Every structure is written in C-alpha cells, then in structure tokens.
Chains A and B, each alone.
Chain A
Amino acid sequence: MLRSKSRKVNILEHEWVPKHEVLSPEEAAEVLKELSVKPIQLPWIKASDPMVRAIGARVGDIIKIYRKSHTAGETIVYRYVVIDVE
C-alpha cells in the first residue's frame, strides 16, 4: 500500500492557507488603537480552527493574517480568536 500514516502533512504550507501570526499583547493593543475598534468588532476565528491550533493561539488572542489579494497583492487582516459556540 502506498498510504503511510507517518507522512507529515503540514497544513500551513497549503496553497490556500495564508500566513497566520499571533500578535503579542502590545502589538494587539497598537492594532486596536490604530483601527479604533474593540476586539469583538474584528472578524472572528474559532478556537477550534485548524490554523489556530497549528500556530498555538488562544482564546482572546488577535491573529494577523497576510492574505494574498487578487487586487492588492498582499493585504493584512486581523481575526479575533473566540470560543466556538457550536
């Protein structure tokens, strides 16, 4: 059989997955100030999201995402890690 369980699959390298990065509390405060928003007003990302787990973020963190954009080359967006309700 060709299939092997030991093969490492790193989802971070998948073409559809943009780079995610956890912000330090200082950086997070700066971002929130710049955008003048509360964390809850940012787009959310669930704590159970595979990417959140892969980069080791926790509930309450803010994640910086470097999206590849079709119109602007690269854009930066932020998501707020929330507890998933479902």
Chain B
Amino acid sequence: MDGGLNMAADKLMSEAEVEEYLRKSLANRVSQTMYREILNEVLKTWRKHGLYIDELRAIVDEVVKRYEGSIVEPGEPVGTVAAQSIGEPSTQMTLRTFHYAGVKEFNVTLGLPRLIEIVDARKKPSTPYMEIHLVEEYSSSEDKAREVQRAIETTTVENVIKKLDIDPFTGVTIVLDREMMSDKGVAINDVSKALEKLKLGEILADEAKSTISIIPKGLIDFSKLEKVRRSILSLRIKGVKGIRKVIIQRRTVQRESGEIEEYVLIAEGSNLEDVMSVEGVDYRRVFTNNIREVEEILGIEAARNAIIREIVSVLEDQGLDVDIRHVMLVADVMTWSGSVKQIGRHGVAGEKSSVLAKSAFEMTVQKLVEAALGGEVDSLPGVAENVIVGQIIPVGTGMVELYIKPGLREERDESSQ
C-alpha cells in the first residue's frame, strides 16, 4: 500500500462483494458449516469496521492454513492415537464399581466400569436409567409431571397394601392402604382388574372397607402358598414394564424467551419403546443409557450418537479432557458393520486376518500349526505382521506404494519418438 487513494480502491464496498470473494477463495476448500460461520463473522466485522481486500485475503489464508493443519494426514494411525488418548486418562478413573449420581435416589455405574460396559457393548447396562423429557404442557407444571410419573412408574400390589392374608381354606384377603393408593393414583378397580390376570378364583372387592378377597375354586395347595403370595405382591397394577422408580427433577433451562423451569423425569430401568408412547412424554427427547435398546428402536445412527454421549459423559464426569474426535472414532468403528460390535481383547469383534498377527498375541504355536494345516495365506496387511517379517510397516509414509501402469509407459515412449 503506498497511497490513500489505492487503499480506498482496495476496500470492499458491499456485503455482496465480501461474500463473493469469500465464496471464490474459501467455499470449496473448507466444510460448508465452517464457511457459513466464517462468512457470518467476516460480515459482522465488515459492518463494524470495513475490510480491505488484503485483510480478507490474510484471514482466508489463515483459515485455510489452520483448517488444513487440523486434517488428519493419510496413513496416520488414528486408531492407535485414539486408543492411547482414551486409555491414558482412564487409568486415573475410579477403578471401583462406584455408585453415585446427580440424584441421591439413584445409583448409576460410573467411571471405568461404565466405560468398559459401553465398549464391551453389553446387552444391558448394570444400572439402566432413562431421562424422560415432557411435552411443554406437562413439563411446566408439577402436577402434570406427576401424572406422567405415575403412568410410567411401576406400581405393584405390594406398594398399595397394608396386609395380605392367605388361608388355604378361605382364600386370600387383601387390605389396601388408602393413602398409598391415592399417592400412586390407583383405584380399587385397578387392583382387582390386575388380580384377575392371576386366575386365582372369584374376586370380591369391598370399596367401603377397601378390602379385596379372592375365593379360590378349590383348596390352595399348601406347597404353593408362598408362591401365590409372591405372585400377588409382585403383580404390576400399572406402569411401564421394566421401569422401577421414577423421580421428578426440576431444572432451569435457557430458552429464547429467557430462563424457564422445566420438570424432567429420571427413571430407574429402561424401556424406550413403551415410554415413548406414553402420553405427555416428548418422544423426541427420551434418552436411555441402554445402547442396545437405542439400536433396536432408533437405529444404528442413533446408537452411534448414544455411544458418543455415554462415553463423553463418563469422561467428563471424571474430569478428564479427551478430544471428542477420539470418542467419535470409537463409536464409528463400533457401529461400522450396521450393528453395535464390542471392542474386546482381539480388536473390534473381529479376528485379524493375518496369521502372524494372531500368533503374536496368544497361543502362538497352536495358531501357527492350525494355519499351516489349513493352508492359510498371509498377505501381511497390518502392522504387527510386518514388524515380524522386518518390513516397513504400513503406517504414515510407509503406506505409500508405487504402481506402474505399463500401458501408459508405452504410450509415452511412442509419443517421445
């Protein structure tokens, strides 16, 4: 820049001009989201202070430099890096199966045991729980939220009775606890209706005395008394199967309209499908820590999101700072095949294809003998086997191979003559 006049000519005159320049120089080099973000930032600055074309060029160059610097280079062993990045901090996690939760009513497995559980892709977590958000009408009022809570929480006969007598001759007498019934929102009809399912005999409900008697068809077998008692006590009157206890949590959330209070349900136990169809529940925001269930109901992509969320929350909870990209890689690898696969001692649910790599781990002789008998071929695809035979390992620059297309060479020879 030598004079004021030239500078004025270099100044970007309109928003359209800024956008045009950015689009030309940046749009095809970085991701769409990033482009949009940078465009917004640049426009903001332009409105405030104006921009010279040189300045904008400098911004673009810096952005591109940083962006390209953050991209993984071909051949980089991202898996190994991810394994170490997650593995090292996790040595500092609680090793005990330690139970703690944000809510004192619940026990939730955290720390290393939980991390192992996720990566192992267990069928069911040891402490399944759900976070259930409600639709607006219900989430804003405690009474409405309680309604949903009652509909979801499992109420058994045991929860609402004072006394249960079983007499082999006269049958079963149940004395109900009115207070508990109103607390759980259960009517005497609900109890007798539920009891019908057991097919014990004729059911007589006395509303005034709040008792229910069951008169059996014949004698109740003495040896089955205890069994009958237990089956009555554990009989589900209402609620979603698999959900034991539900508590209401009050949260303050940020919305556009400012801070608002919101009631959220936390449930012990998990049943995604049934809870989603309960009225008052916002099925878009029902979450569970049971990854297999997410896979089954919402699909593999949702399961991937669940894995990321679960691992990140474990790490965050322990105060460990691990870049989310490593976690995303783990989730990607686990869901690669279309179903959630565990990452075990042998890698991702998979056998290594190389005989030498397999024998480097356990039972060396057996594996080699088996491979020899089976006439297996080792094409040395991985790292371990190449270390064994003393070749360059296929990592980083070692991945580059040279191929010659003979046809192409002839062509060139001809044309040079």
Contact = CB atoms under 8 A, between A and B. Distances in A.
Interface of A: 1-5, 7, 9-11, 13-18, 20, 43-46, 49-52, 54, 65, 67, 69-75, 79, 82, 84, 86
Contacts of A84: 338-339
Interface string B274-312: 001111100111110000001011111110011010000
Contacts, number: 109
A67 B338 CA distance: 16
Given A2-B151, A11-B299, A43-B335, 11 more contacts: A2-B147, A3-B278, A7-B279, A14-B283, A16-B306, A17-B298, A18-B302, A20-B301, A45-B299, A72-B31, A72-B33
7 nearest CB pairs, A to B: A73-B33, A51-B299, A44-B338, A2-B151, A16-B302, A46-B338, A16-B305
A50 B238 contact: no
B34 interface: yes
The residue in B34, B300, B332, B338 that gathers the most chain A C-beta atoms within 10 A of its C-beta is: B338
Interface of B: 31-34, 36-37, 147-148, 151, 238, 276-280, 283-287, 294, 296-302, 305-306, 308, 324-325, 328, 332, 335-339
The residue in A1, A9, A10 that gathers the most chain B C-beta atoms within 10 A of its C-beta is: A9
B305 to A, nearest CB: 4
A52 B299 contact: yes
The residue in B278, B298, B299, B339 that gathers the most chain A C-beta atoms within 10 A of its C-beta is: B299
A28 B10 CA distance: 45
9 contacts: A3-B279, A9-B277, A14-B284, A16-B301, A43-B336, A46-B339, A67-B301, A69-B328, A79-B301
